[in-house]
Amino acid sequence: METRTNVATPAKAGWTLTQGVVAIALVSWLVGMLVGVGNGLLRLQSLRAQAHAELVAEAKAATASIHGQLSLAEHILKVVALAPLVRSFSPICNDLIEAWRSTLGTMTTRVVLTDSTGLVRCGSPAEALDRRIDDSFRLEDVVETSDTLFSTIVRGLVSGEEVIAVSRRWYPLEAGTGMATAAVRVAHLVQPDPPAMRATGLWLADIAGHVRPLLATAPLPPPDDVLADIPRGVHLRTASVDGERLLLAVDKFSDTLGVVATRRLREIEREAVKESLISTIPKMIALAFAAIAVVVMVRWALVNPLAELANTLNAPRGSAAAAPPPRMPRELTMIWQKVLDYRDAVADRESQLEQELALRQELMREVHHRTKNNLQIVSSLLALQEHEAKDGEAAAQLRAARDRVATLATIHEKLFGGGAVDRVELKEFLSDLAKRIAYAADADARGIAVSVEAEPLALHMDLAGPVGLIVNELMTNSLKYAFPGDARGRIRITARRVGQDIEVVVADDGIGAPGTGVPEGGLGSTLVAAFARKLDGTVERREGPGTIIALRFPAAAEA
């Protein structure tokens, strides 16, 4: 027999190495994407916090600028309050105050001193001396504290402009405690728009609900009650103005005044998202290219060589296709050679086993052939004995024995000529068996038709014998007793699968057997019962015209 050199190609199932590498790269990329998205979200949150911090810083810077200007007015008041000529209400008191006020330029509208009764005793400009001070502060409020107090935004009595009154207590040489007040113009606090400012607007607000811009351009003012119910210090708030959501950084630097920096929330979100995407998208693209590069490199260095190795398993031994390519890694080259050695060893062993199996099957066929010949010789001898027998009963018994031996010979004949050496096709076996029995009983001449209908089933030889012998007994009985005289009829043999069992039925449309059960008492009936037990099956008689006998046994022997 020719030696095989090829190994059968395995069925294409499951996933390939390329798919596995791509899946790993994809999972890695997705994990990287999730990490990148997480970093992007953290970056977005950081940018939001940065925008909040910038707004707070701008509010504090504006507060420092305003507080610095108000501090200049406070410093003048301290200087005025300490001057002896002023404390004594000297005739040149007004001139001194005017000189000191002029150092502030246009920042203040007037500076006045009042005595303990609240009357203006000295100040500048001269036209303000006969006017009482505004009602921003009560005298007792100022003299009870050593701090400088700032009023809300009020309308100046002399200038008619909006001012902030800066007041502190002082001690004239006369008895009692007085109040020094400087009126600072609100318009003087307005500053040009800083080029680097991120805030949409800067505002000066007071607790009375006045809100004034501190920038030349300042849209969307904060709510009038922005300073309500909050202590001193810096606070972040949100508010809705004309349908626009604003972020407010409120720096309340006194009990009455505060600076508010505003910015649109959608601007903050848009810039934060933009910067987050700018920092995240390149990383995602780089990660995607890295994943693709890994797939390409792994495919080039590992997957392709392994694919070539798999194809080599089908290459003829000694062919050029069986040699490893020069670009293969050293470790894969060693695996390549080992696989080829194992492939050749398996092919040799497979060829040897196939030769041994073929020889075994040939020997088995030879055994079946010789067994068939021997059984045919025995059948011929029984036929000779039948012809020599003088007694009719003895001849009938010899004929029955001959038929049983012939049935066994039919099995071995099928095993000798078929593909398998230990199984028979049930339909073919029953057809040949029925033809032989019908021919021996001269069924055609008697007008008895025999038919076989069977599903494609295979039985092991150890079970085919009992099945054949039972069918032989049942069909012989039908030919012998079901059609007396010149009666014509039909015998039908069927075989089919019923659930986990195989059912073989022998039915005739003859006169029927007496009784309702399986006929008993004779040798044939005894043999049928014995063979049924060998099959772990049952034999039963069914109702119908004629005689119907069914054999049912487990289908464990089916191929």
DSSP symbols for 8-48: PPPP--S--HHHHHHHHHHHHHHHHHHHHHHHHHHHHHHHH
Provide long-range contacts, Cβ within 8 A and 24+ apart, for 190-194. Answer: 190/214, 190/215, 190/216, 191/62, 191/65, 191/215, 192/216, 193/217
Q: Which comes out higher in pLDDT, residue 421 or 442?
A: 442
The answer on pLDDT for 116 being more than 80 is: no
> Which amino acid is present at 544?
G
Pull the structure tokens for residue 196: 């680097």
Average the pLDDT over each of 26-35, 185-194, 358-367 and give the range with the smallest value. Answer: 358-367
**Inter-CA distances, 317 with 4, 63, 197, Å:** 10, 91, 81
Q: Which comes out higher in pLDDT, residue 514 or 471?
A: 471
User: With pLDDT > 70 as the criterion, what percentage of the chain qualifies?
Assistant: 74
What angle, 0 to 180 degrees and rounded to 10, lies between the N-to-C axes of helices 17-82 and 265-298? 150
Average pLDDT over residues 374-380: 67
The answer on pLDDT for 492 being more than 90 is: yes
Contact 59, 261 (CB under 8 A): yes
Neighbours of 219 (CB within 10 A): 13
Average the pLDDT over each of 64-73, 422-431, 509-518 and give the range with the smallest value. Answer: 509-518
Confidence at 558, pLDDT banded by 50, 70, 90: very low
Confidence at 264, pLDDT banded by 50, 70, 90: confident
Confidence at 505, pLDDT banded by 50, 70, 90: very high
Q: For 542, how many CA atoms within 13 A lie in the half-sphere containing its CB?
A: 14
**What pLDDT is attached to residue 419?**
57
Helices within 255-329 (DSSP H only): 265-298, 304-312
Average pLDDT over residues 259-268: 84
Q: Which comes out higher in pLDDT, residue 315 or 111?
A: 111
Average the pLDDT over each of 145-149, 250-254, 257-261, 514-518 and give the range with the smallest value. Answer: 514-518
| Structure-token match 């390149």, residue found | 282
Phi and psi based region of residue 278 (left: phi greater than 0; alpha: psi -120 to 50; beta: remaining): alpha
Pull the structure tokens for residue 57: 């810083």
**What pLDDT is attached to residue 2?**
39
Contact 121, 87 (CB under 8 A): no
Q: What is the pLDDT of residues 281-299, one digit of tens each?
A: 787 788 778 878 887 877 7
Q: Which comes out higher in pLDDT, residue 246 or 318?
A: 246
**What pLDDT is attached to residue 5?**
43
Pull the structure tokens for residue 541: 């008689």
> Which amino acid is present at 33?
M
Q: What is the pLDDT of residues 177-228, one digit of tens each?
A: 888 888 888 888 877 666 566 777 888 999 888 998 888 776 778 888 888 8
Averaged confidence pLDDT in the chain: 77
Is residue 114 packed enough to be buried (19+ CB in 10 Å), middle (13-18) or exposed (0-12)? Answer: buried
Q: Which comes out higher in pLDDT, residue 312 or 339?
A: 339
Rounded to whole angstroms, how far apart are CA atoms 145 and 373?
A: 139
Handedness of CA 140, 145, 147, 150 (dihedral sign): negative
**What pLDDT is attached to residue 511?**
85
Most confident of 46-55, 154-163, 169-178, 252-261: 252-261
> Which amino acid is present at 201?
G
Pairing of strands 178-185, 108-114: antiparallel
Pull the structure tokens for residue 83: 């001057």
Average the pLDDT over each of 56-70, 88-102, 113-127, 205-219 and give the range with the smallest value. Answer: 113-127
Residue 451 neighbours by CB under 8 Å, 6+ apart: 490, 491, 492, 493
Which residues are registered as beta bridge partners of 250? Answer: 235, 260
Q: Which comes out higher in pLDDT, residue 355 or 541?
A: 541
Spatial strand order in the sheet of 489-498? 448-454, 489-498, 501-508, 547-554, 538-542
- Kind plus residue range of the DSSP H or E element containing 469: helix 461-477
Is residue 321 packed enough to be buried (19+ CB in 10 Å), middle (13-18) or exposed (0-12)? Answer: exposed
Confidence at 519, pLDDT banded by 50, 70, 90: low
Residue of 210, 227, 189 lying closest to 65 (CA atoms): 189
Residue of 532, 531, 528 lying closest to 553 (CA atoms): 532
